[in-house]
Amino acid sequence: MQPQNEEHKTITELIMQAKREATAETDTEPEPELTSAVDWPVACTVGPGLEGAIACETRVGYVNGKKGWLIYRGYDIFDLCAHSSYEEVSYLLLHGQLPSSSEFEEYSNRLRRYRDIGQTLRLFMSFPIEQLHPMAALRLGTNLMRQKQTYRDLDVDPDHAPIAADEDSIAMETPPLGEKEAIYEFASGAHTRPEKASDDLTGSEDIDSCYHLISGVATLAAAIVRLRRGKFPLEPRQDLSHAANLLYMINGEVPSVLEERIMDINLILHADHGMNASTFATMVVASTLSDIYFSIGAGISALNGPLHGGANEEVIKTLGEIGSPDNVDHWFETAVADKRKIPGFGHRVYKAYDPRARILAPLAERMAASRPELHQLYQTAKKLEQRVVAEYGEQKKIFPNVDFYSGLLYRAMSIPQNFFTPLFAVSRVAGWTARVIEYLEHNRIFRPRAIYTGDLTAQYRSIETR
C-alpha cells in the first residue's frame, strides 16, 4: 500500500531484518497453546487482577510472550509494519480481512471525511482545554463526539444539528466554566433540541461510529496539543495519510517521508495488544449495552494510569537523568542497588524480546542518524539496553518493551512528553473498537465475583452511639 521510495525500502528492509532475528532467536520455544475454540464453561487458574482468567474468545489479535509474537487477524506484526499502513491495519482489525482496492478506497475516504470534526471542536473549545490533563481532555472530547454522532441517528443532518446550527450560539464571551449558558443557548436556538438525542443512548455503536472514532480521536488529540501550545487547532488535510495528517495537525508542517512512515509504524504497533486493562475496560462498558463512545471513553480512562500508558515518558526522563553513554554503567549499578525498576524494560506477557521494541530500535537508530540532537539520547539508550539485557536478559527474561524506543521517536517528531499517552489512545482506538464490535456479536455482560472476607454479623448502632 505504501508508495515505495528509497526511504521506504530501507525501513522495510530494517523491519524484515528484525523479523529474521526474532524468528531465529525464538524458534525453539514451544508452539502456542490455547488457540482453539473454548468449551464453556472453562477451567483455568486465575490469579489476582484476573491474571490467567479467560474472559472470551477472539479472532482480533494474539500475543505470545514466549515466542515474542504479536499477531493481528493472523498477520504477523513485522509483516504489517513492513508492508501496510494504519488505515489498512485498522480496517483489518475491524473487518477481519485486508481490504480489496475498492474497499480500501471507500474506507480511507470515509476516514478522511470523519477527520473533520469541526463542530465538536467548536464545542470542545468552550472548555478550558489547555488547563486540563491531555488525557482528561481526550476523554471529554470523545464524549462530545458521541453527542454529535447520536444526532445522526435521529435523521438530523449533523451539519445542521442544533449545536452546529448557529456558529454564534457558542457565545465567545461565555466564560470557560459557563456551560450552563451555552447549553441554554443551544436549547433556545432556531432548532429545537431533539429530546431523544439525550434520552436514547443506543444506536451509535455501529461500524460508522468506529470509523468516526478512529479518525476523530486523532483530530481531537492534535487539537489538544495545539491548544496547550496556545494555538488554534488546524483543519485536517484531506490529501495526507492518517499518520501524515496527524503529524501535520500537531506541528503545522507536512512531515518528511521518514517521519510519516515512523508515525505510521507506531500507530500500527500500538493498535491492539490482547486483553490489556484498557481493552478490557472498553469491553466491560460495551457489554452493558452502553454505546461505543462511552466504551472508548472507558478505554482512555484506563490507559491514563501510569501502570498502563505512559512508561515511555518515564524512559525519556530516565535517559535525560543518565545524561550520556559514559554515565550508563554507574547509573545502572545504582539503580540495581536501589532495586529500581528500569522504565522501558520487562513485560507481564513478553518473556522474550518485545517484537514492537525490535521494530522500533532500528528506526530510532535511523532517526538519530539524521538528527544530531538525538544522537546522544539514542547512544545512551543503546548502551542502557546492552547493559540491562546482559544483566537480566537470560536470567530474568527482561528485555526492552515497546516503550523503550517509542518516546525517543516521538520526541524526534516534536511531540510533547505528556502527549505520548494520548497518542497511544489515538492508535488503540482501532483495537478497542474492533474488540467491542466482535464481543457484541455474542454479548454477555461481564460479571466476575469477589470473595467477601468481611464481617457478616455487624450490629447497626445509631450515629449518636458510634
Ligand X SMILES: CC(C)(COP(=O)(O)OP(=O)(O)OC[C@H]1O[C@@H](n2cnc3c(N)ncnc32)[C@H](O)[C@@H]1OP(=O)(O)O)[C@@H](O)C(=O)NCCC(=O)NCCS
* Range list of H helices, 73-133: 77-83, 86-95, 101-115, 118-124
Per-residue CA distances from 40 to 45, 51, 120, 274 (Å)? 15, 18, 43, 20
Candidate list 231, 341, 375, 444; residue touching ligand X; CB under 6 A: 341
The stretch near ligand X (CB under 6 A) out of 46-54, 226-234, 338-346, 453-461 is 338-346
343 belongs to the binding site for ligand X (CB under 6 A): yes
115 belongs to the binding site for ligand X (CB under 6 A): no
Candidate list 259, 264, 403, 438; residue touching ligand X; CB under 6 A: 403
Neighbouring residues of 407: CB distance < 8 A, sequence distance ≥ 6: 312, 313, 315, 316, 344, 417, 420
Neighbouring residues of 89: CB distance < 8 A, sequence distance ≥ 6: 72, 80, 267, 268, 271, 430
The residue with cell 487539537 is: 223
Asked if 271 contacts 89 with a C-beta cutoff of 8 angstroms, the reply is: yes
Residue number of the CB atom closest to ligand X: 346
CA nearest to 109, candidates 222, 1, 215:
215
Annotated active-site residue 133? The verdict is no
Site for ligand X in 347-386 (CB under 6 A): 347-348
Q: How far is the CB of 72 from ligand X (least distance, A)?
A: 18
Between CA 112 and CA 107 the distance in angstroms is: 9
Candidate list 94, 227, 398, 408; residue touching ligand X; CB under 6 A: 398
Asked if 294 contacts 139 with a C-beta cutoff of 8 angstroms, the reply is: no
Q: How far is the CB of 309 from ligand X (least distance, A)?
A: 9
Asked if 417 contacts 363 with a C-beta cutoff of 8 angstroms, the reply is: no
68 belongs to the binding site for ligand X (CB under 6 A): no
59 belongs to the binding site for ligand X (CB under 6 A): no
Q: Cell numbers of 293, please?
A: 463512545
The stretch near ligand X (CB under 6 A) out of 20-28, 156-164, 185-193, 339-347 is 339-347
Please report the beta strands in 20-102, taking only residues with DSSP state E, as ranges in sequence order: 61-64, 69-72, 75-76
Q: How far is the CB of 354 from ligand X (least distance, A)?
A: 7
The stretch near ligand X (CB under 6 A) out of 90-98, 145-153, 240-248, 399-407 is 399-407
CA geometry: angle 325, 327, 331, nearest 5 deg: 120
Q: How far is the CB of 276 from ligand X (least distance, A)?
A: 9
Annotated active-site residue 347? The verdict is yes
Between CA 286 and CA 15 the distance in angstroms is: 36
Given the residues 264, 291, 354, 403, select the one marked as catalytic: 403
Q: How far is the CB of 99 from ligand X (least distance, A)?
A: 30
Site for ligand X in 297-316 (CB under 6 A): 311
Between CA 134 and CA 153 the distance in angstroms is: 29
The stretch near ligand X (CB under 6 A) out of 151-159, 190-198, 276-284, 342-350 is 342-350
Q: Which is nearer to ligand X, 98 or 389 (CB)?
A: 389
Binding pattern for the stretch 205-224 against ligand X, x by CB under 6 A and - elsewhere: --------------------
Q: How far is the CB of 345 from ligand X (least distance, A)?
A: 4
2 belongs to the binding site for ligand X (CB under 6 A): no
Listing from the earlier edge strand, what are the strands of the sheet with 69-72? 61-64, 69-72, 75-76
Interacting residues toward ligand X by CB under 6 A: 311, 341-348, 396, 398, 401-403
**Positions marked active-site:** 347, 403
